[in-house]
Amino acid sequence: MDFQFTDEQRMIKETVYKWAVNELGPLQEKIDDEDWFPPDFFKKCAEIGILGITIDEKYGGLGGDVLMQTLAVEQMSRICPALGMTYGTHSNLCMNNIHRNASEALKEKYLPSMVAGEKIGALGLTEPNAGSDAMGLRTRAVRKGDKYVLNGTKMFITNGPVADVILVYAKTDPERGAKGISAFIVEKEFPGYKVSRKLRKCGMRGSPTGELVFEDCEVPAENLVGEENKGVNVVTSGLDIERIVLAGGSLGMAHQALDYSIRYSVEREQFGRPIASFQMIQQKLADMYARTEAAKLLVYKAAQVARNSPRGGKGTELTKLAAAGILFAAETATWVCDQAVQIHGGYGYCLEFPVQKLWRDAKLYEIGAGTSEIRRLIVARELTREEFARKSSR
């Protein structure tokens, strides 16, 4: 498969990295130390035109593909993984799902302001007792006249504390299980909605994460996304794309950790020579490079397949590749960042050196957007699906 970037993809990659170095680089210490979210972040993203990469031009977007979106998250995450994740959540988990599933009226109402950075988006799926078992969610939505009334709690919601628009999943027919889920667009001003708390994290500091509560929250009936009780289609059709785009965050961290390690190992001297001349360090650098490049190729391949299978869905080659891509990229990033800390020695464990922040940040992608364990189950399911079908037909 040819991974030569198009001019548009190359431009996004270069533009986002240069912007992140200049705009986010000087803020890194404050963002991490204070768990601080820059209030003008989305406005600045809008200024360089990256909030609507996969959104049609008629809503203000670029009409680009999944690989362009993945590259943007990757390059931003090299400098600031936390804001790379916050950006990906807004532009992909929320906006892209609305773009692909909502009515024309809802798209016209919400997408232009989100592309312009005037409204911040989030995805409300995970609950205190429904993480890996996402279909086991308990938030309930009951139709009452021209409104739905939502009751329940969402947990670990990226952008939750600052979001203006939340794509929320709730049970409209609990007896039907996964076939009784519906999706809604909720605004922060709707009666009965509140952010109950902002969560404290050891990594990805600066990316606001919170718990959201719905207490008789009134949502206009026209804010139903797709059909009632068909929300599972919205969920599953977006998961493959979500995994690919967020895998870009892991690629960015692994890339940057390797860069830091190469630079440090050449400058750092022990026993009268640079530690880069020691075979044990050379082995680490070689393995870090090989795994990072392998992860990139797998994720980029999944992104190219996604371009030809925009809906994704259960039982597709895309599902397998997307799960494998984020599985390998996330575990690669965690391992590469751990090796980077080891190469830096005592300095790597000190807060003054940025490599320790990558180390703390990387772990989250083995947990969020489906744990590594769940991703392995998905890949294995897809690998054996056809063989089980043949066996049952004999």
Task: Tell me the pLDDT tens digit for each residue of 250-261.
Answer: 999 999 999 999
* The two structure tokens encoding residue 145: 């006249």
Residue 1 lies in a domain: no
Residues 271 and 207 in one domain: no
Residue 251 lies in a domain: yes
How many structural domains does the chain have?
3
Is the per-residue pLDDT at 141 higher than 70? Answer: yes
Cα distance between residue 105 and residue 159, in whole Å: 24
C-beta separation of 93 from 254 below 8 A: no
Alpha helix positions (H), 3-150: 7-19, 28-34, 41-47, 66-79, 81-88, 97-101, 104-115
Of 220, 241, 252, 375, residue with least CA distance to 312: 241
Cα distance between residue 81 and residue 10, in whole Å: 20
Residues 102 and 160 in one domain: no
In this structure, what CATH number is given to the domain that contains residue 75? 1.10.540.10
Is the per-residue pLDDT at 54 higher than 80? Answer: yes
Residue 203 lies in a domain: yes
Residues 386 and 242 in one domain: yes
Residues 324 and 372 in one domain: yes
Residue 159 lies in a domain: yes
**Confidence bin at 313 (pLDDT 50/70/90):** very low
Q: What angle do CA 240, 110, 125 make, to 5 degrees?
A: 40
Measured over all CA atoms, what is the biggest interatomic distance in the chain, rounded to whole angstroms?
A: 79
Residue 197 lies in a domain: yes
Residues 307 and 365 in one domain: yes
pLDDT at 134: 65
pLDDT at 376: 96
**Would residue 228 show up in a list of annotated catalytic residues for this protein?**
no
State the average pLDDT over residues 167-181.
Answer: 92
Percent of the chain with pLDDT over 70: 96
Any idea which of 197-206, 228-237, 376-385 has the lowest mean pLDDT? 228-237
Is the per-residue pLDDT at 236 higher than 80? Answer: no
Cα distance between residue 16 and residue 267, in whole Å: 28
Dump pLDDT digits (tens) for 21-50: 999 999 999 999 999 999 999 999 999 999
Q: What domain range includes position 338? A: 232-393
Average pLDDT of the chain, as a whole number: 93
Dump pLDDT digits (tens) for 125-134: 999 887 666 6
C-beta separation of 336 from 220 below 8 A: no
Choosing from 211, 242, 366, 382, the catalytic residue is 242
Residues 185 and 133 in one domain: yes
**Confidence bin at 10 (pLDDT 50/70/90):** very high
Residues 29 and 73 in one domain: yes
Backbone angle region of 345, left / alpha / beta, with phi > 0 → left and psi within -120 to 50 → alpha: left
C-beta separation of 277 from 288 below 8 A: no
State the average pLDDT over residues 256-275.
Answer: 96
Give the three-class secondary structure for 227: coil
Any idea which of 83-87, 188-192, 372-376, 385-389 has the lowest mean pLDDT? 385-389
Cα distance between residue 28 and residue 48, in whole Å: 20
Residues 270 and 332 in one domain: yes
Cα distance between residue 190 and residue 372, in whole Å: 36
pLDDT at 315: 55
Run of H or E including 132: none
Cα distance between residue 147 and residue 144, in whole Å: 5
State the average pLDDT over residues 190-209.
Answer: 96
State the average pLDDT over residues 78-107.
Answer: 96
Residues 217 and 274 in one domain: no
Cα distance between residue 81 and residue 88, in whole Å: 10
In this structure, what CATH number is given to the domain that contains residue 163? 2.40.110.10
**Confidence bin at 370 (pLDDT 50/70/90):** confident
Cα distance between residue 121 and residue 42, in whole Å: 10
pLDDT at 390: 79
**Confidence bin at 159 (pLDDT 50/70/90):** very high
* The two structure tokens encoding residue 128: 């205190």
Residues 297 and 344 in one domain: yes
Residues 209 and 111 in one domain: no
Residue 2 lies in a domain: no
Residue 55 lies in a domain: yes
pLDDT at 328: 98
Residues 257 and 131 in one domain: no
| DSSP structure class, residue 354 | T
Residue 363 lies in a domain: yes
C-beta separation of 374 from 324 below 8 A: no
pLDDT at 312: 45
Contacting residues for 267 by C-beta, under 8 A, at least 6 apart = 274
Cα distance between residue 105 and residue 241, in whole Å: 24
State the average pLDDT over residues 182-205.
Answer: 96
C-beta separation of 94 from 165 below 8 A: yes
